[in-house]
Amino acid sequence: MLQTTKKSAMEKRYLLFICLSILTFCLAADASNAEAARPCNGRRYSEGDSIVCVCSGTYCDDLTPIVQGDIPAGQFLSYRSSRSGDRFLAVKGTIQPNGTRQTDDGTDPTGAVVDAVFTISNAGSYQSLIGFGGAMTDAAAINIMSLSEAARKSLLDSYYSETGSEYSVGRVPMASCDFSTHVYSYDETPGDFDLKDFKLTTEDLDMKIPLLKQAQATAKAPLKIFGSVWTAPAWLKTSGRENTSGQLIGQAGDKYHKTWAQYFVKFVQSYEAQNVSIWGLTTQNEPIDGYIPMFPFQALGFTPASQRDFIAKDLGPALAAANLQHLKLIIMDDQRFLLPNWADTVLADDTAAGFVDGIGVHWYFDGLTPASVLTKTHNRHPDKFILSTEACQGSGIGQHKVILGDWSRGESYAQDIIENLQNWVGGWVDWNLALNTEGGPNWAKNQVDSPIIVNATADEFYKQPMYYALAHFRYSSLTGS
């Protein structure tokens, strides 16, 4: 049964389109298959319980762009992906008249089978949608660049075009992370507090930046690209090493912290000099990692209090002085079990809070903390958005890294996204856009899975169930809505 408040017929059809286009598996009585886009070239691997869709420079499945007016009054269009091999199977259906009630035997009074009952209400409003996306890590860039030009275009189209996932958000590491082939920063000169030797590297100039430009040229709207940093140069850290834990030397307001703040400024300016616009910054990737002894890859530690002070005394003023106050500054960028305390501590300081726009969360320990903590955090800080900034499969101890065609991994993505959206999260950003068949490269041997797996030898790539789980949200979760 569809229950709506007073809205125009066009608005009602649009609301119904939003509700029925997302991850739809139950269809109404008069459903029939719609004309499909280019279908999946499916392939099964022994380790998976579903298929991957094989793409190359000459063929790749795609998705049909949908225009609101394409759906006639009284009808709906849904899309189905399934373990058995359906990938965005388009299905048309007829909406039963408003007010039709289902009987105990699963039929309406006319005898037709009722597959689903949706109640639509415009009472109340929730978060504005920032969008969906993935990270252009060094590893992702290496894998994408390993393909032929035609195959590379197919991959970027799969993510950014109107016939693909229509990603609108992108994360880029500031210098190296574990998904690099080696450890590096943008200024390796000890004592260079003026950052005279700061410079982008070949990973930026020859791979990430050209690919981000191509992605932007493919997308129909400006991409929201945000930078995240893993480590400071060794000479700014208490450990004296980039490839493990440690904190900034000194305390907020001193030359070490002011130099680190300028590092952010120079990153943004350097990328924008290459015609890549930066939308935002996270203050630090997983800051609690910097306090774990002998952490196995790049990290820099902050507590909520030290992050608060760094923002208030160093980073915020540095961005403002460089006329970069328009950037979206995102705190935490770590696990949600740190909420709401992390946000409470940082945002209790009016100066720090004035520079902060959002709160970043990762998904890795979501099982430890209910999603309701996100709503609790929103209720305490309603003027700050919440963005899921990293997720991946295969990261757990003992887990297989890459499983080609694993359906449950796609289901986990969909479940997490829905749970986040129901608790005030404004967007969801995946980890590596593409990895190789081993789940890398990763210098720390911390390989994981990815929605797209590249086989450079065969000049092809495989779209996993995770890819389609994410892509389903393109039809219902419109950026800015």
Q: State the catalytic residues.
A: 286, 390
Which residue type is seen at 226? F
For CA atoms 421, 467, 131, 73, give the dihedral sign. negative
Type and span of the H or E element at 131: strand 131-135
d(C-alpha 135, C-alpha 65), whole Å: 24
Is 278:272 a contact under the CB 8 Å cutoff?
yes
Side chain identity, residue 9 = A
- Looking at residue 467, its amino acid is Y
* Closest of 480, 479, 475, 477 to residue 68, by C-alpha: 475
> Token pair of 269, please?
């300016």
Q: Could you tell me if 421 and 477 are in contact, meaning their C-beta atoms sit under 8 angstroms apart?
A: yes
Rg (the chain; Cα; Å) = 23
Burial 171-192 (b: 16+ CB within 10 A, else e): bbbbbbbbbbeebbbbbeeeee
Residue 408's identity, in one-letter code, is: S
CA–CA dist 321, 34 (Å, integer):
55
Lookup: tokens for 28? 């109404």
d(CA 86, CA 42): 9
Query: Which residue from 418, 415, 330, 423 is spatially nearest to 378, judged by alpha carbons?
Result: 423
Spatial separation of the C-alpha atoms in residues 259 and 190, rounded to whole Å? 12
Tokens of 1: 């049964």
Q: Quick one: which H or E segment has residue 266?
A: helix 255-273
